[in-house]
Amino acid sequence: MAELLIVEGLSAGYGEARVIAGLDLRLEEGRSLALLGRNGTGKTTLLNSLIGVTTRHAGRIRFAGTDVTGLAPHRRARLGLGWAPQERNIFRSLSVEENLTAVALPGPWNLERVYALFPRLKERARNGGRQLSGGEQQMLAIGRALMLNPRLLLLDEPTEGLAPILVDELLGVLRRLAREEGLSMIVVEQKAHKILPFTDDAVILDRGAIVHTGPSAALLTDAAALEAHLTAGSKG
């Protein structure tokens, strides 16, 4: 498979503060990646750097054969980078349908397909963003990212703060996107057991550096690696 994303020697952060340093990462077209690590290890900063909202100190990013290192976020989106940030960032004064159509780009993902994926959004199509529950806002954030018709979908803590029944529903959607739709994804998550079962590869960050990389299935059964790098309070 062709390499969709190539990150080389990336050092980035906020202002003068460097959160990740000298990071290399590659992702092939059609593969999904679990991006794991404890709080404060650089996971969100890496996604923010891919979309172009951090300060880059060194390195470069190539996406879909184009050097996007110096491109603004909206230009990266038009090349096929979709982003559902942790804060969701929906337009709270717009309706569900307006949120979705405001950012739409041509391609197979349209209102009909997003509503089929998230029937709850269709039921709330005329509701304003501020009227939605946390789970519905997360569905809207993902649906809005899909309306960009991305080649790579970036998801930052998509299940955080959701009720267990909504977590299961959302994970089912992500599994479908990865396995049935073959959509390339990078999913940030703290709880490895949620996303390792349906992602292809896994990367663990610690202090802004990659400390583990390999198949998701192998990491899921590697108790030592999970304990060393992900269990709260453990050393490593």
CA distance 154 to 164: 22
Radius of gyration of the chain (CA): 17
Domains of the chain: 33-42+72-229 (3.40.50.300)
Q: Which of 5, 3, 81, 7 is nearest to 42 (CA)?
A: 7
Kindly indicate the confidence band of residue 235, based on its pLDDT and cuts at 50, 70 and 90: very low
Q: Is the dihedral of CA 108, 114, 117, 119 positive or negative?
A: negative
The pLDDT tens digits of the residues spanning 139-174 come to 999 999 999 999 999 999 999 989 899 999 999 999
Residue 231 has pLDDT above 90, yes or no: no
Q: State the pLDDT at residue 25.
A: 98
Q: State the pLDDT at residue 233.
A: 47
Burial of 39-48, coded b for 16+ CB within 10 Å and e otherwise, reads eebbbbbbbb
Q: How far is CA 178 from its chain centroid?
A: 12
The pLDDT tens digits of the residues spanning 93-148 come to 999 999 999 989 999 999 999 999 999 999 999 999 999 999 999 999 999 999 99
List of E strands, the chain: 3-14, 17-28, 32-36, 55-63, 66-67, 81-84, 152-156, 184-189, 201-206, 209-215
